[in-house]
Structure 1
């Protein structure tokens, strides 16, 4: 599995709705509300051999209310 962290900036007033949609898709191992430039941070495990860009575009970024995202890929846990 490939672990990625995705920070999401939402339209004003939509963060809870976006979080609910992510929760019901059952793709996040962890989902946080955050302060600062982004409203939410999701920890997602993507199956090996899956195109990360397509996975994120098709399963996360198609949710209405998301304005911007920042994806951080991980390589090794210590």
Structure 2
């Protein structure tokens, strides 16, 4: 399993709805509210053979209220 993070920019006033939708989907390991350019930071795990881009495009970006995503791929935990 590989961990990766997705920063999510939400439509104004939709951060809690987006976070709830992600939590309800049971796809995320952790969900954080953040300040700055993005509203949420979400940690996901996928099997090595799964395509991160397809996962984001098909499972995350279609969620109502999401305006933009920024994916951070991780390589090793220390």
Same fold (TM over 0.5): yes
2:17 is equivalent to residue 17 of structure 1:
yes
After TM superposition, what 4+ stretches of structure 1 lie above 3 angstroms from structure 2?
Answer: none
Q: State the superposition RMSD in angstroms.
A: 0.7
TM-score, length basis structure 2: 0.96
**Alignment-derived partner of residue 48 in structure 1:** 48
TM-score, length basis structure 1: 0.96
Name the CA distance, whole Å, in 2 between partners of 1:6 and 1:37: 13
**Alignment-derived partner of residue 64 in structure 1:** 64
Structure 2 unaligned blocks of 5 or more: none
Name the CA distance, whole Å, in 1 between partners of 2:74 and 2:53: 14
How many residues are treated as equivalent by the alignment?
Answer: 78
